């Protein structure tokens, strides 16, 4: 299974370690590949350098200067997470061309769209009993780094490995009436997702997440669930289909 671990569910060291412990526990039952973001860490490092943060439809406008900061911040986080999870190897998309990408939209700067995943590297690590922990910086056609939204990267990895995916975040799933948790949708079809984006009740960072879920299903993932990483036991409940929002074709 692929676990996408985002910045909102790692805002404190305690939370980060709690999620890592859940990932480690899940590994007793099944093979796990972790794909991570780190939005809040990136924000902090950009702010420390006086660089602005601007998002369009959930994607960070990434100047070459910001790209350096994104890569630096995510590389450090990658090593911390891989240590937290244990028996793991931390990799970025540049390692063995694990994540290849092209420029998504020149207006967003160095933001990437994934064009290829080196699944053999992941399979080799898994075969050696190691958990891959993948940071969402890809290599572009020019050999330079591209900033890929971590949900998008995780969806592409799930598709390439034909494995199911759980997107961990700070809400219990997709709410029909955000921020009311009572309005969580247990299931959403592609048509409902598209309508939700068009009508505006799926917004901001939830847009790349639902799109990545659909993309993962299109590429061959057997299931895609968006769930909270904020409560103990949430990951295994989501993996069993007992929590979160399951996106279906």
Ligand X SMILES: Nc1ncnc2c1ncn2[C@@H]1O[C@H](COP(=O)(O)OP(=O)(O)O)[C@@H](O)[C@H]1O
Ligand Y SMILES: CC(=O)N[C@@H](CCC(=O)OP(=O)(O)O)C(=O)O
Annotated binding-site ranges for substrate: 38-39, 60, 147
Indicate the residue among 132 and 173 with the shorter CB distance to ligand X. 173
178 is an interface residue for ligand X by CB under 6 A: yes
**Near ligand Y by CB under 6 A: residue from 99, 136, 139, 212:** 136
Beta strands 55-56 and 187-189 are unpaired
Q: Pick what 9 binds: ligand Y, ligand X, none; C-beta below 5 to 8 Å, kind-dependent.
A: ligand X
Q: Vertex 152, ends 147 and 153: CA angle to 5°?
A: 70
Q: Are 157 and 219 in contact (CB under 8 A)?
A: no
Closest-CA residue to 172 (of 163, 155, 184): 184
Piece of the chain touching ligand X by CB under 6 A; list 98-106, 107-115, 156-164, 202-210: 202-210
60 is an interface residue for ligand Y by CB under 6 A: yes
Interacting residues of 56 by C-beta distance below 8 A, sequence separation 6+: 107, 108
244 is an interface residue for ligand X by CB under 6 A: no
- Residues 205-224 vs ligand X: string with x where CB under 6 A? xx--x---------------
138: buried, middle or exposed (CB in 10 Å: 19+, 13-18, 0-12)? buried
Question: Is the torsion defined by CA of 7, 34, 247, 211 positive or negative?
Answer: positive
User: Length of the chain in residues, anyone?
Assistant: 249
The CA–CA distances, whole Å, from 45 to 5, 11, 59, 87, 160 equal: 19, 14, 17, 28, 32
Q: Pick what 60 binds: ligand X, ligand Y, none; C-beta below 5 to 8 Å, kind-dependent.
A: ligand Y
Residues 33-52 that bind ligand Y (CB under 6 A): 37-39, 42
H or E stretch including 13?
A: helix 13-26
- Residues 122-161 vs ligand X: string with x where CB under 6 A? ----------------------------------------
Considering the complex, what minimum distance in angstroms separates the CB of residue 142 from ligand X? 27
**Near ligand X by CB under 6 A: residue from 1, 2, 3, 6:** 6
Indicate the residue among 109 and 244 with the shorter CB distance to ligand X. 244
Strand partners, 109: 62
d(CA 38, CA 73): 8
157 is an interface residue for ligand Y by CB under 6 A: no
Which residues of this protein are in contact with ligand Y, per CB under 6 A?
6-7, 37-39, 42, 59-60, 70, 111, 136, 147, 149-150, 205
Please report, as ranges, the residues that interact with ligand X according to CB under 6 A: 6-9, 37, 39, 169-171, 174-175, 178, 201-206, 209
């Amino acid at each position: 299974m692929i676990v996408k671990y985002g910045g909102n569910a790692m805002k404190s060291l305690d939370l980060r370690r709690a999620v890592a412990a859940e990932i480690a526990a899940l590994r007793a039952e099944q093979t796990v590949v972790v794909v991570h973001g780190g939005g809040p860490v990136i924000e902090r490092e950009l702010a420390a350098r006086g660089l602005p943060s601007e998002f369009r439809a959930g994607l960070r406008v990434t100047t070459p200067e910001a790209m350096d900061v994104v890569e630096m911040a995510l590389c450090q986080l990658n090593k911390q997470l891989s240590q937290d999870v244990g028996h793991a190897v931390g990799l970025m998309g540049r390692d063995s061309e694990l994540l290849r990408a092209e420029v998504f939209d020149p207006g967003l700067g160095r933001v990437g769209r994934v064009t290829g995943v080196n699944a053999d590297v992941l399979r080799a690590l898994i075969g050696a009993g190691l958990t891959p922990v993948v940071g969402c910086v890809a290599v572009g056609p020019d050999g330079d780094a591209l900033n890929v939204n971590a949900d998008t990267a995780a969806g592409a990895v799930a598709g390439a490995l034909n494995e199911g995916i759980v997107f961990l975040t700070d809400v219990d799933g997709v709410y029909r009436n955000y921020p009311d948790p009572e309005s969580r949708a247990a299931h959403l079809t592609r048509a409902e997702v598209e309508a939700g984006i068009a009508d505006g009740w799926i917004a901001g960072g939830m847009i790349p997440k639902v799109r990545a879920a659909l993309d993962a299903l299109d590429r061959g993932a057997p299931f895609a669930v968006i769930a909270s990483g904020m409560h103990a036991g949430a990951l295994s409940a989501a993996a069993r289909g007992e929590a979160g929002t399951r996106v279906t074709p």
